[in-house]
Structure 1
């Protein structure tokens, strides 16, 4: 299961970083079903698999933090194999609950800021932003949403389809380059995040030009996500460079195809970050 999860994480196209963190953390439960001679052997295998899962996507701070939490909570804490297995399973449950609760509470905090009649613009796909919209609508809000396609994987199309299934939301799907045309008619930009490391927001490619354009036309920008994604140290963001075939299917000569997964946005361009731990204003 762990090997399959590693490959799935590497190829994931439609899942948020929180979903990835939960999937990777739960995969470690497989180790409790294997045979080991000693606790030390179990811990070495746990460390090896945690490392492999982290390397599957080194751009996700929530993945890194969740796996590190499991490793640090288990290593050196058990006297025998049965205790190590029980501690691993209970830690996995705790970490998964923390990730899912943080995401849910962040969505609740964000939903409270969404007013009836608002028009917002969002980029790519964020399950936390989607949950915030659903909660706001359930509380009586009627909304208009402008959604970027989020090329080259078109995750914005998934977001727009899910919005279309919600009563009282009027979704508009647009190509990424059209955001500057529609921003002046929006009340705010609401986006998710991969992570914030020190003074930089890392998020799906296309976030930086969108946020910069919003600043130029005076539209406030809100970022929503679990507080576990805001990190000060211990984590070094590594961008993912994806296959050129996502940009152009046919082979080409004389052209270097660029396909980075994420870009970097200075936090001073962001008005607020809403997490389960509260609101951070810049």
Structure 2
């Protein structure tokens, strides 16, 4: 399960960073089914697999924080493998619940920012933003959504399809470069986040030009995500450079294909960051 999870994260089959953190944390339970002669042997294997899971996507702060929580709790805390086994399983349950609860509460808080009749623009796919929209609609709001395709993997198409299944939401799907044409119709931009580190928002590539344009046009920008994604120390963001084949299937001589997964946006361009702990000021 751990190897499959690592491959899934690398191939980006799981898009939400919160879902990635949960899958990675739960996969560690596989180690508790193995036989270890000593607790030290188990701890070494735990450290090795945690490192491998982190390397699968070093850009995800929530993944890093969840796995670090397991390590901090388990390493050196018990005297036998059986004790370590029970502690590991209990810790996995606690960490997973914390991640899921943080995401749920962030969505609940963000739902209040979406009022009946609002038109919003979103970029990429955020499961937390999706949940916020669902909660706002359940509370009686009718919304119009402009969704970017989020090339080259077109994650926005998935978002638009899911929005289309919600009564009360009128979705519009557009190419990434068209956001400037439609921002003037929007009451706000609402997006998720991969993480915020040192007052810089790291999110799906295309976020920076979108935020800069919205800022220029006076359209407020709301970022939504768990407070676990806001990191002060101990985590260094590493951008992921995706395969050139996602941009152009056939190799082309004389052209350097650039395909970064994320870009960086100064938080000064953002109006509010809504987390499970409320609105965060920078």
Corresponding residue of 1:100: 100
* In structure 2, distance between residues paired with 1:6 and 1:185: 41
Pairing of 1:5-154 with structure 2 (within 5 A): 5-154=5-154
Partner of 2:233: 233
In the TM superposition, what are the counterparts of 1:200-239 in structure 2 within 5 Å? 200-239=200-239
User: What SS class does the counterpart of residue 159 from structure 1 fall into?
Assistant: helix
- Tell me, in whole angstroms, the C-alpha distance in 1 between the residues paired with 2:60 and 2:66: 10
1:165 aligns with 2:161: no
CA distance in 2, matches of 1:113, 1:205: 24
How far apart, CA to CA, are the structure 1 residues paired with 2:192 and 2:220?
14
Match of 2:243 in 1: 243
Determine the C-alpha separation between the residues in 2 that align with 1:156 and 1:99.
24
Q: Which consecutive unaligned segments of at least 5 residues does structure 2 have?
A: none
How does the TM-score come out when normalised to structure 2? 0.99
Q: Does the 8 Å CA contact 2:14/2:20 hold for their aligned counterparts?
A: no
Moved over 2 A (4+): none
Q: CA deviation at 1:280?
A: 1.4
Counterparts of 2:250 and 2:237, CA distance in 1: 31
Deviations 1:52-92 (A, max 9, x none): 00000000000000000001100000111110000000000
Contact persistence 1:14–1:155 (CA under 8 A) = no
SS at match of 1:146: strand
Q: How many residues of Structure 1 are paired with residues of Structure 2 in the alignment?
A: 282
